[in-house]
C-alpha cells in the first residue's frame, strides 16, 4: 500500500511532532479516512523523507510524530529550468504539474511578444501561490522531496538577464535543429551542466523573441516534424532530456 506524503513548511526532526497544514490534514482525515497512528511520509523540502505516524488532534486537525529520516532518491541529477510562456486557463497548471513529475528543478513563467495572458500586480501573487501549490501536490504524488522553484512572472528580457551563464541554452523552435545536433551525450556532464529550455506561447515565439534568444546564446531545438501545443512542448522536451541525460534512461 502506498504511504501518503505531506509537505510542511517547518523544521522537521526525528522524535518531534509537527503540525500538518489544514488542507492536507483534511485530505488525510476526511478523504483517505486515516486513523490515529497511521503511517505517512513528511517532507519539508530539505531532500529527506521523514517517516511518521499520524496524530489526530481534533476535527479536521492533525499532526505527525516523526519516527525516522532517510534520504529521498527521487530527484533528478539533471538540473533543468523550464521557461514557460504564460498559458491560458488550466494549461499552465498542467505544465507545472507534468514538469514537476518529470523532475524539473525550476520553472520560470515568462511573458513574450505573443503572450496573451497578462497578470496585473494584484493577480500575479495569487497565481504564483496557486502554481506553487500545484507543484507541491505533484511532488506529493510522484514521490519528490523538493518542490521546484517557481519564479514570479517576468519578461523574456528579464529572464534572459538572470539565466545561468554556464547552462545549455535551448529554445523550442520548429525551424531549429534536432537535439542530436545540439547535444553530445557522451561528453555532457548531467550533474554539472544545467539546462534552460524556453517554450513560447500559443502563437509561438516571434522573430523578435528568437533574436533576443539567439543574442543570449540560446539555440533553436526542433522536437520532430509535428508542431506541439505550448502545454505539450515543455513536458515533451523534459522527457527527451531526462531520457538522454537524466534518470529516465
User: What structural domains does the chain harbor?
Assistant: 5-71 (2.40.240.20), 80-244 (3.40.1280.10)
Angle between helices 91-101 and 123-142 (to 10 degrees): 40
Note whether 237 and 179 are within 8 A (CB). no
All residues at 6 or more sequence positions from 158 whose CB lies less than 8 Å from its CB, including other chains: none
- The pLDDT, as a whole number, for residue 60 is 81
- The pLDDT, as a whole number, for residue 190 is 56
Write out the three cell numbers for 71: 534520504
Note whether 149 and 186 are within 8 A (CB). no
Per-residue pLDDT of the chain (249 residues; tens, 9 = 90+): 689 999 999 999 999 999 999 988 999 999 999 999 999 999 999 999 999 999 998 888 999 999 999 999 999 999 999 999 999 889 999 999 999 999 999 999 999 999 998 888 788 899 999 999 999 999 999 999 999 999 999 999 999 999 988 889 999 999 999 888 887 655 566 566 789 999 999 999 999 999 999 999 999 999 999 999 999 999 999 999 999 888 887
Placement of cell 507543484 in the chain: 135
Over the range 161-173, which residues count as b (16 or more CB within 10 Å of their CB) and which as e? Answer: eebeeebbbbbbb
The SS3 assignment for 82 reads strand
Write out the three cell numbers for 25: 490534514
This model's pTM is above 0.85: yes
The SS3 assignment for 229 reads coil
Helix (H) or strand (E) holding 186: none
Angle between helices 91-101 and 230-244 (to 10 degrees): 10
Amino acid at each position: 500500500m502506498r504511504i501518503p506524503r505531506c509537505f510542511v513548511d517547518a523544521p522537521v526532526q526525528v522524535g518531534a511532532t509537527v503540525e500538518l497544514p489544514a488542507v492536507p490534514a483534511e485530505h488525510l482525515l476526511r478523504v483517505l479516512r486515516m486513523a490515529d497512528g497511521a503511517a505517512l511520509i513528511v517532507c519539508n523540502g530539505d531532500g529527506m523523507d521523514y517517516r511518521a505516524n499520524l496524530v489526530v488532534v481534533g476535527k479536521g486537525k492533525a499532526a505527525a510524530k516523526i519516527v525516522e529520516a532517510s534520504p529521498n532518491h527521487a530527484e533528478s541529477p539533471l538540473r533543468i529550468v523550464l521557461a514557460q510562456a504564460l498559458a491560458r486557463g488550466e494549461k499552465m497548471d498542467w505544465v507545472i504539474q507534468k514538469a514537476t513529475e518529470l523532475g524539473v528543478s525550476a520553472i520560470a513563467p515568462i511573458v513574450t511578444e505573443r503572450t496573451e495572458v497578462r497578470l496585473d500586480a494584484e493577480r500575479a501573487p495569487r497565481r504564483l501561490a496557486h502554481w506553487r501549490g500545484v507543484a507541491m501536490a505533484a511532488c506529493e504524488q510522484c514521490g519528490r522531496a523538493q518542490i521546484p522553484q517557481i519564479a514570479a512572472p517576468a519578461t523574456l528580457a528579464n529572464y534572459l538577464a538572470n539565466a545561468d551563464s554556464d547552462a545549455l541554452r535551448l529554445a523550442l523552435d520548429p525551424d531549429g535543429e534536432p537535439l542530436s545536433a545540439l547535444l553530445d551525450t557522451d561528453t555532457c556532464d548531467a550533474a554539472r551542466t544545467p539546462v534552460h529550455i524556453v517554450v513560447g506561447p500559443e502563437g509561438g515565439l516571434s522573430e523578435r523573441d528568437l533574436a533576443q534568444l539567439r543574442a543570449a546564446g540560446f539555440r533553436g531545438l526542433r522536437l520532430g516534424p509535428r508542431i506541439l501545443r505550448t502545454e505539450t512542448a515543455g513536458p515533451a522536451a523534459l522527457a527527451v532530456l531526462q531520457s538522454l541525460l537524466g534518470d529516465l534512461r
